Amino acid sequence: MALLSLTPFLSLAVFGLLAIPAGFLHFGKSKLGLAPFVCILGLAIALVSTVWLGFTSLSPVSFGGFQVDLFTLFFSGVLLIVAIFVTIASLQYMHEDPNKGPFFGLLLLSTLGMIVLAASMDLILLYVGWELMSIPTYALTAFRKRDPNSNEAAMKFFVLSALSSALIVYAISLVFGVTGSTGLTAIASSLSTAGPDFRPFGVLAIVLFIVGFGVKMAVVPFHMWIPDAFEGAPVTIGAFLAAGAKMAAFAAAFRVFIVGISAFNVDFYSTFAIVAVVTMSVGNVAALMQKSFTRLLAYSSIAQAGYILMALATPFTTTNVPLGLAGGLFHVLNYAILKTAAFVAAAAVATKLSVTDLESFNGLSRRMPQTSLSIAVIFLGLAGVPPLNGFFSKVMLFTGSIYSPYSWGGYLALTALINSGFSMSYYGWVIKRMYFDEPGDQSRIPEPRVYMAVLWAATILIFAIGLYPDPWIRLVQNAAAALVASRGL
């Protein structure tokens, strides 16, 4: 019975391996091949089993360092939604590409790595998940191998990402040296009694973890690769990196810091608060100066990472589940939907106009009305306008920060809100371009149906979560409670 809870993982692994040979099979004259359908089937089985498990298995199932609890299932659900959106959009985006088998196979395997990250209660498993997630994404970023931009992006991404992996391994080895264990619960109990001699090593390990995860989470000052990678990679892979890989890194950070390190008597909360403030401010200010749509999305995603980091800056007691942590998970969900949809919209524009500089968005509402409407909704959601989904997660995050026992909690929330207000200037600027400016070319552009399907699905989700947030709030509260409970104290 417990093995049933492995269904999402097994489905991704099996179909991921099947997708690569399936790329060689075609129905009749269709160029599409079998690979994308194998991919969608694998993701669908994984998502359905995740949702089913979420409703039925109330107690966590643990296989040593591998734990399937509500936190795992929550992240698995979010990441699978992202992967499904990315796959469907790639049907159109990769339509002409001959190498569909590897593309969709790598996509599935990388998704598997991400949800393994969310499930890992052991640092070695966490590292395996981390690499399983990262290595396919290097190949995916460089997928347009004749395109120099794609290669440059992949190279930059690879070098920094490899560095981050190395730092994480170093941090793991330090933690092992101090505690003699790689299991997070064992680390927690060992750290809570660690003597003063071990303290410097513990602190160094924390710093290395922050930097290592920080590269993938794109926190300032480790964010430099993000705009280049998002711009050079195939646009749908940009979505996968921005919404998938980044959120998976947050899942890893939540596990390691909340379960493992929070027992250690070190104030990493203030560090995260400072990093959060710097990240959101730099992201928002830099986004205002961008001339390309994908770069703007990249900086806005940096700013959003700053908001989610606030969840790691809210300390908690064992008795109550902090609102900020639940808000952080809620923002992970909302951000993932919004960001994937934003990149899919960018892909829709890019396939039709072949450029994504902001100039080409002038008067887009007359040329691509459905795309423009969904971009407007997505951007208002990212800015946190009610009744869209981004609003409630921000409210929970910021309120959680005000609850913080630290005296800086209120100032952190105020800074975040001012940032949130400021971010409207570039989101509004793009909406202004789409709706108020005159297009250079008046011709109506046919809007690809596949992208529109994804965009409408996302728009409906954005409104549904925003108008009736209650079930979602309960979901994230339970997921946060599961995370806190997995400390086993």
Partner 1 sequence: MIGLLSIAIFLPAVLAAPTFLLGRKNPKMAKILGVGTTVIVFAISIVILVVFQYGQAGFQLSESIPWAASFGLNYKVGIDGISLPLLMIATFLSLLSAAGSWDQITFRHAEYYALFLIFETGIIGVFTSLNLILFYLFWEIVLIPMFFFIGIWGGPRRKYASLKFLIFTYSGSAVMLFGFLALYAWTGTSAYPGGPSFDYDVLAARIPNLALPLQLAVAITTFVGFAVKLPIFPLHTWLPDAHVEAPAPVSVLLAGLLLKMGGYGLIRYNLLLFPKAVSVLWPYFTTIGLITMIYGASVALVAKDIKRMIALTSVNHMGYVLLGAFTATVAGVSGAVFQMFSHGLAVGMLFLMSGYIHEHTGTRNIDELKGLRGKMPQTVSLLFLVSMAAMAVPGFANFISEYLVIQGALSVSYLFAIAIVAPALTVGYFLWMLRRVAMTPPVGPKNELHLHSILILVAFLVPLLIFGVYPPPVLGSVIAPTVEKWVGPIVGLGAR
Instruction: Provide the binding-site residues for partner 1, judged by CB under 8 A.
Output: 380, 383, 385-387, 391-392, 395-396, 398-399, 402-403, 410, 413-414, 417-418, 420-422, 424-425, 428-429, 431-432, 435-437, 468-470, 473-474, 477
How far is the first Cα of the chain from the last one, in angstroms, to the nearest whole number? Answer: 26
**C-alpha 117: how far from chain center:** 12
Taking the CB of residue 479, how many other CB atoms lie within 10 A of it?
28
- Distance between CA atoms of residues 221 and 214, nearest Å: 9
Phi-psi region of 417 (alpha: psi -120 to 50; beta: other; left: phi over 0): alpha
Identify which of residues 92 and 420 has a Cβ nearer to partner 1 in the complex. Answer: 420
> What residue type is 264 in one-letter code?
F
Nearer to partner 1, 230 or 330 (CB): 330
DSSP helix/strand/coil, 77 = helix
- Least distance to partner 1, CB of residue 320, Å: 10
Residue closer to partner 1, measured from CB, 12 or 473: 473
Shorter beta-carbon distance to partner 1: residue 212 or 328? 328
What's the min distance (Å) between Cβ of 228 and partner 1? 29
**Cβ 309 to partner 1, closest distance in Å?**
18
Question: For every residue of 123-155, which 3-state class applies, written as one string?
Answer: HHHHHHHHHHHHHHHHHHHCCCCCCHHHHHHHH
Contact by Cβ (8 Å): 260, 130: no
Residue with smaller CB distance to partner 1, 66 or 392: 392
Residue-wise DSSP of 456-485: HHHHHHHHHHHH--HHHHHHHHHHHHHHHH
Decide if 97 contacts 34 (C-beta within 8 A).
Answer: no
Q: State the virtual CA torsion across 315, 317, 319, 320 in degrees, nearest 10.
A: -20
The secondary structure of 156-201, three-state, reads HHHHHHHHHHHHHHHHHHHHHHHHCCCEHHHHHHHHHCCCHHHHHH
Helical segments of 224-322, H only: 225-232, 235-239, 246-254, 268-288, 293-312
Residue number, 162 or 424, with CB nearest to partner 1: 424
* Tokens of residue 411, six digits: 């100032």
Taking the complex as a whole, how short is the minimal distance between the CB of residue 293 and partner 1, in angstroms?
18
**Tally of CB atoms within 10 A around 193:** 8
Sign of CA dihedral 80, 105, 339, 277: positive
- What does the longest C-alpha to C-alpha distance in the chain come to? 71
Provide, rounded to whole angstroms, the least separation between the CB of residue 465 and partner 1. Answer: 11
406/421 Cα distance (integer angstroms): 24
Q: Smaller CB distance to partner 1: residue 301 or 401?
A: 401
Please report how close the Cβ of residue 410 comes to partner 1 at its closest, in angstroms.
6
Task: For residue 236, give the nearest of 353, 88, 108, 134 by alpha carbon.
Answer: 88
Which CB, 445 or 481, lies closer to partner 1? Answer: 481
Residue 296 identity (one-letter amino acid): L
248's tokens = 């998976």
- Which is closer to partner 1, CB of 111 or CB of 415? 415
Residue at 478: amino acid letter? N
Residue 314 Cβ vs partner 1, minimum distance, rounded to whole Å: 11
- Give min distance, CB of 466 to partner 1, in A: 9
Q: How far is the CB of 400 from partner 1 (least distance, A)?
A: 8
CB of residue 467 to partner 1, shortest distance in Å = 9
Rounded Cα gap, residues 417 and 412, in angstroms: 9
Whichever of 167 and 303 has its CB closer to partner 1, that residue is: 303
In angstroms, what is the minimal distance from the CB of 430 to partner 1?
Answer: 11
Q: Of 63 and 429, which CB lies nearer to partner 1 in the complex structure?
A: 429
Q: How far is the CB of 431 from partner 1 (least distance, A)?
A: 8
Q: Specify the residue, 24 or 436, whose C-beta has the smaller distance to partner 1.
A: 436
* Minimum distance from residue 306 beta carbon to partner 1 (Å): 15
Nearer to partner 1, 102 or 386 (CB): 386
